[in-house]
Amino acid sequence: MQPFIKHRGLVVAMDRADVDTDQVIPKQFLKRIERSGFGQFLFFDWRFLPGGEPNPDFELNQPGTEGCSILLARDNFGCGSSREHAVWALADYGILSVIAPSFADIFFNNCFKNGVLPVVLEPAVMDQLFTSAALGGYQLTVDLEASQVRDDEGLQVEFSLDSFRRKCLMEGLDDIALTLQVEDRITAFEQSQG
């Protein structure tokens, strides 16, 4: 997992509440076990029309959103099924941070296991971000080291995150990497059980 310390990126705004993981990555694309290759199917049922052409009304298909890496959302993002594939799809598409007033718990936890930073901000701040994003070409800096979200117009807002999750993201530690930090102790224990 790549460390996340500070990221500046283009914003895409999804002005929808209760976006569930079934929409983030529909069930028919869950046949793979590796974490890559899911980005092309992100929000598939919303991004594409029944004939397979891009839906011109969908947020990720709007002009100027190509290469976006920060997603703005509304309340309860990532609700629904507890599929880790939803975070895999976001990350594979290039989304490194999702900013919303609230997240579903399992989705929120899955983000940290996959190097995506979920940022919780107050609804009034989210309204301000959505207004700025509507102008197009809006960029934000998500600074985990300083626990801040900033823009070029002077917005600077703090967010909180527990120290363990912060450390893991900043050092690029998923569950396996955390375990491997004590590999010598695990090996010593296994040898003692002889």
Q: Which residues of 63-95 are buried (b: 16+ CB within 10 A; e: fewer)?
A: eebeebbbbbbbbbbbbbbebbbbbbbbbbbeb
Exposed, middle or buried: residue 19 (CB in 10 Å: 0-12, 13-18, 19+)? buried
For the residues 152-177, what does the mean pLDDT come to? 91
Q: How many secondary structure helices (H) and strands (E) does the chain include?
A: 8, 7
Element at 120 (helix H, strand E): strand 117-120
The pLDDT score that the predictor gives to residue 184 is 77
Evaluate if residue 175 carries a pLDDT over 80: no
55 alpha carbon, distance to own chain's centre? 22
Q: Please, what is the average pLDDT of the chain?
A: 93
Please tell me the distance from the alpha carbon of residue 119 to that of residue 146, in angstroms, as a whole number.
13
Among the ranges given (71-75, 101-105, 170-174), the one the predictor scored with the smallest mean pLDDT = 170-174
State pLDDT tens for residues 149-160: 999 999 999 999
Specify the pTM.
Answer: 0.91
Please name which of 104, 147, 96, 136 lies closest in space to residue 13, comparing C-alpha atoms.
Answer: 136
| Domain architecture of the chain: domains with CATH | 6-192 (3.20.19.10)
Please tell me the distance from the alpha carbon of residue 155 to that of residue 11, in angstroms, as a whole number.
14
For the residues 107-132, what does the mean pLDDT come to? 97
The pLDDT score that the predictor gives to residue 162 is 93
Element at 143 (helix H, strand E): strand 139-143
Please tell me the distance from the alpha carbon of residue 8 to that of residue 6, in angstroms, as a whole number.
7
